[in-house]
Chains A and B, each alone.
Chain A
Amino acid sequence: MPEPAPLPGTVHISLPAALTALFPGAPRELELDAATVAEALAALDRRFPGMRDRLADSTPRIRRHINIFVDGERASLETPLAPGAEVLVMTAISGG
């Protein structure tokens, strides 16, 4: 029997200033319900339309120069989120 999909619990999200600058009113810290990183991005997109596109591409995967850490471990879109998880979104080294 397949594993049941995890139920979304409340998680804590930290967003980088360079991202929130693109979305007037977006806070640096917020809580939302999500069972995976992909669900967290979808929930962010519902609150701030377009935010998912800034963090993940159409492959789909997290953008090359964006890092998302879940409880200190680098994550992918499929990474599960336990209730109470700390999700840290960071900009990586890039530019020129």
Chain B
Amino acid sequence: MPDRLLILLGTKKGCFILEGDHARRSFALRGPYCEAWPISHVIADPATGTIFAGGGNAWFGPAVWKSEDLGVSWTHSSEGLAYEPGEEPIKSVWSLALAPEGTLYAGVEPAGLFASGDRGRSFRHVGGLRAHPSRTHWNPGGAGLILHAIVPHPSDPASLFVAISAAGVFATGDSGVTWEPRNRGTRADFAPEGQRYPEYGQCVHSLVMAAGRPGRLYQQNHCGMYRSDDSGLSWQSIEEGLPSSFGFPAAAHPRDPDTLFFVPLNGAMEGRYVPDGRAAVWRTQDGGAHWRALRRGLPQENAFLGVLRQAMATDTLTPAGVYFGSSSGELFASADEGESWSSIARHLPAIHSVETVFLPD
């Protein structure tokens, strides 16, 4: 079997998969999968090609879907994916992550974390997170009270970061038994003056780890762009030079810990479009000290598109590919680290998430 590069899309109406040729110039689209359920996040295991899709259906509730034949056939499960009777039930699976030792994590709405030790057949509640004393103060953001990012440590299976809107970043070092907030230095501009740097309650939009440097995290936040070099114990603003510090997804380079991609939007209350109707991905190659707009091939007039928090990803090829999907259903791709772009799919449902997987021969 030749090398295969798959772009995995979670959309408002199903999972879609694009398969690229070797040059990443042409892509074939297939789908929708998962019975056209709203799918928040789709990931794949690069070792086996197994695809997992998390979502929730207005009629039938939350589930994690699984395909072991690259999307041809699917099963679904929500066994164990439930809070105690009497608690607000789970509406949807928002985020997935596969830890290096094989645990599949699922983040859900209302915010909580579940783990599967049998590759998505059943789940157990990682209850320590919701047992944190701050939980009664967690407030929903615009999309609900969601656990939308799960960042496993690449070499320490007991260590994990999660991001909750709007509770902030939390970390565990003991496999989820205990958790602590990691938000020092990130702003909450929506709080009264004098209370804008709380211990928790920040509206983190996305959280990613730098390749090869597990202590380095980047986050896009309702109130700024940030970098941490100490596993989230402290955060520094890296928003200077950007046209707007508001947006949703940040995507880390697959090898260079100093390179990050971001799509700024015009502001929280200004429409959440790309600024001036001109689409651009902004890239830093020095950890956020400087930013540059990358526009070649992207629409530069009347482009009132937005990009949701999980809808940008890189691939692992050289040079790195970068992909982002719009909430108006268009997918853009760059095969040269963002220098030039092309539209590779349009007229799709709103794109919730973009991920890639490279399956070598």
Instruction: List the interface of chain A (C-beta within 8 A of B).
Output: 18-19, 21-22, 49-50, 53-55, 57-60, 63, 65-66, 91-92, 94-96
Contacts and interface: CB of A to CB of B under 8 A. Distances in A.
A22 B89 contact: no
A21 B78 contact: no
Contacts of A49: 79
Contacts of A95: 58
A58 B87 contact: yes
Interface of B: 35, 58-61, 63, 76-79, 81-87, 89-90
Nearest to B84: A58
B77 A54 contact: no
B58 A50 contact: no
B85 A19 contact: no
A58 B90 contact: yes
A29 to B, nearest CB: 20
A63 B59 contact: yes
A12 B280 CA distance: 59
A39 B226 CA distance: 52
Given A21-B35, A22-B35, A53-B78, A63 B85 contact: no
A50 B79 contact: yes
B59 A91 contact: yes
B89 A58 contact: yes
B76 A50 contact: yes
Contacts of A92: 59
Nearest to A21: B35
A65 B85 contact: no
B35 A65 contact: no
A63 B89 CA distance: 10
A80 B86 CA distance: 22
B85 A58 contact: yes
Contacts, number: 51
Given A57-B89, A58-B84, A94 B60 contact: no
A50 B63 CA distance: 10
A96 B37 CA distance: 11
B90 to A, nearest CB: 7
A63 B60 contact: yes
A18 B63 CA distance: 15
Lowest 9 CB-CB distances: which A-B pairs, in order?
A57-B89, A58-B82, A94-B58, A54-B60, A65-B59, A53-B78, A58-B89, A91-B59, A65-B58
A58 B79 contact: no
Nearest to B12: A96
A92 B57 CA distance: 12
A63 B79 contact: no
Contacts of B63: 53
A63 B92 CA distance: 13
A58 B83 contact: yes
9 contacts: A18-B60, A19-B60, A53-B61, A54-B59, A54-B61, A55-B60, A58-B82, A65-B59, A66-B59
Most A CB within 10 A of own CB, among B84, B89, B90: B89
A21 to B, nearest CB: 6
Most A CB within 10 A of own CB, among B59, B63, B87, B89: B59
A21 B60 CA distance: 12
Given A22-B76, A50-B79, A57 B59 contact: no
B308 to A, nearest CB: 16
A37 B94 CA distance: 31
Contacts of B77: 50
A94 B59 contact: yes
Given A53-B81, A66-B59, 15 more contacts: A18-B59, A21-B35, A50-B76, A53-B61, A53-B63, A54-B60, A54-B61, A55-B60, A57-B82, A58-B85, A59-B89, A63-B61, A65-B59, A66-B60, A94-B59
Contacts of A91: 59
B59 A60 contact: no
Nearest to B74: A22
Most B CB within 10 A of own CB, among A53, A54, A66: A53
Contacts of B61: 53-54, 57, 63
A22 B58 contact: no
B15 to A, nearest CB: 15
B118 to A, nearest CB: 14
A33 to B, nearest CB: 24
